């Protein structure tokens, strides 16, 4: 079984942000390793929008850099790494999260779900143990609670001692949440999964496979959720422009933000 430090050997940078060159099998090995060694593992699913958001948000910047495993969720991130001559394949967060649920079911691990609408969660609590046979969902809570309510909600979930916690609050809320509460889950794998619960519950459809294969999932999301144009319409061209600028200047990998380098490595 590979170790976390082995994973770090294949770490690339995109506009200064770390990205681990891992496929699903490798990422699952890292998850298994965390479970075996009773260690916490924070997984970030990096995409272009998140990189641009982090450049303008020092909290998000710090949280991404401190994550243990940063997977290439977005087509933009994959494109940027490939442009620097390295080989990398996309690993969508939603697919890794589903595979992690399979693993949790297989290895009798305890799962908690946080985020999404109440009705979505109720559906998942019924459906997921059927889809991932034997899955043990020990705790769940929807994602609509106040800052004052958060502590007692998280305390209650932590008391159930989950091994895998999926947090679907959207970026950057889910990253702030993980940063704030990870200390209560010292032996759990924590993954921010964005809109995955909505997809699993059938509320939202993923792009057809052909679009996913062509790395056009972002375009599909834009088409079905046009309100995203405000955010994506600025951040995606901004990201592309910066990556090209970096390539032309030969400065790929240098951070635009403060230049802090607080990445966790050597684990």
φ, ψ for residue 208 (rounded to 5)? Answer: -60, 155
Residue 219 has a CB neighbour count (10 Å cut-off) of 14
Cα–Cα distance measured from residue 155 to residue 133, given in angstroms and rounded to the nearest whole number: 27
Q: Which of the ranges 7-15, 60-68, 76-84, 164-172 carries the binding residues for ligand UDP, by CB under 6 A?
A: 164-172
Cis amide bond preceding 172, omega within 30: yes
- Kindly state whether residue 162 participates in binding ligand UDP, applying the rule CB under 6 A: no
Instruction: Name the residue with tokens 């046979």.
Output: 133
Which residue from 16, 76, 92, 115 is in contact with ligand UDP, where contact means CB under 6 A?
115
- Kindly state whether residue 72 participates in binding ligand UDP, applying the rule CB under 6 A: no
Q: Which of the ranges 5-13, 25-33, 195-203, 250-258 carries the binding residues for ligand UDP, by CB under 6 A?
A: 195-203
Which residue from 77, 168, 190, 236 is in contact with ligand UDP, where contact means CB under 6 A?
168
Q: Which of the ranges 63-71, 110-118, 155-163, 245-253 carries the binding residues for ligand UDP, by CB under 6 A?
A: 110-118
Q: Tell me how far, at minimum, the Cβ of 45 lies from ligand UDP, in Å.
A: 8
- Kindly state whether residue 144 participates in binding ligand UDP, applying the rule CB under 6 A: yes
φ, ψ for residue 254 (rounded to 5)? Answer: -80, 130
Contacts of the segment 156-161: beta carbons below 8 A, 24+ positions apart: 157/112, 157/114, 158/184, 158/185, 160/110, 160/112, 161/110, 161/187
Q: Quick one: which of 166, 194, 45 has its CA closest to 103?
A: 166
Which residue from 169, 190, 232, 236 is in contact with ligand UDP, where contact means CB under 6 A?
169
Q: Considering beta carbons, is residue 142 or 163 the nearer one to ligand UDP? A: 142
Q: Which residue is nearest to ligand UDP (CB)?
A: 143
* Number of chain residues interacting with ligand UDP (CB under 6 A): 14
In our burial notation (b when 16+ CB lie closer than 10 A, e otherwise), range 172-207 reads bebbbbbbebbeebeebbbbbbbbbbbbbbeeeebb
φ, ψ for residue 199 (rounded to 5)? Answer: -70, -45
Which residue from 35, 79, 181, 197 is in contact with ligand UDP, where contact means CB under 6 A?
197
Which residue from 103, 121, 194, 256 is in contact with ligand UDP, where contact means CB under 6 A?
194
* Token pair belonging to 89: 């394949």
Cα–Cα distance measured from residue 103 to residue 110, given in angstroms and rounded to the nearest whole number: 11
Q: Tell me how far, at minimum, the Cβ of 221 lies from ligand UDP, in Å.
A: 8
- Kindly state whether residue 247 participates in binding ligand UDP, applying the rule CB under 6 A: no
Q: Which of the ranges 80-88, 124-132, 151-159, 163-171 carries the binding residues for ligand UDP, by CB under 6 A?
A: 163-171
Q: Tell me how far, at minimum, the Cβ of 259 lies from ligand UDP, in Å.
A: 26
Specify the DSSP class assigned to residue 20.
Answer: E
Residues lying near ligand UDP in the complex (CB under 6 A) are found at 115-117, 143-144, 168-171, 173, 194-195, 197-198
């Amino acid at each position: 079984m590979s170790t976390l430090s082995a994973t770090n050997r294949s770490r690339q940078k995109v506009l200064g942000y770390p990205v681990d060159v891992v496929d699903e099998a490798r990422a699952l090995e890292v998850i298994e390793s965390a479970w075996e060694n009773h260690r916490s593992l924070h997984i970030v699913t990096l995409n272009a929008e998140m990189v641009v958001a982090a450049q303008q948000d020092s909290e998000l910047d710090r949280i991404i850099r401190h994550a243990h495993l940063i997977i290439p969720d977005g087509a933009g991130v994959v494109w940027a790494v490939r442009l620097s001559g390295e080989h990398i394949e996309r690993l969508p967060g939603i697919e890794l999260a589903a595979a992690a649920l399979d693993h949790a079911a297989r290895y009798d691990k305890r799962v908690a779900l946080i985020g999404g609408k109440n009705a979505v969660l109720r559906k998942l609590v019924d459906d997921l143990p059927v889809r991932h046979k034997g899955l043990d969902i020990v705790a769940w809570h929807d994602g609509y609670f106040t800052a004052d309510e958060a502590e007692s909600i998280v305390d209650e979930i932590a008391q159930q001692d989950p091994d895998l916690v999926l947090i679907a609050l959207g970026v950057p809320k889910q990253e702030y949440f993980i940063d704030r509460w990870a200390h209560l889950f010292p032996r759990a794998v924590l993954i921010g999964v964005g809109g995955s619960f909505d997809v699993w519950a059938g509320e939202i459809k993923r792009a057809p496979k052909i679009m996913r294969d062509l790395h056009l999932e972002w375009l599909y999301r834009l088409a079905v959720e046009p309100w995203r144009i405000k955010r994506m319409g600025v951040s995606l061209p901004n990201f592309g422009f910066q990556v090209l600028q970096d390539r032309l200047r030969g400065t790929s990998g240098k951070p635009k933000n403060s230049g802090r380098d607080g990445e966790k490595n050597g684990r």
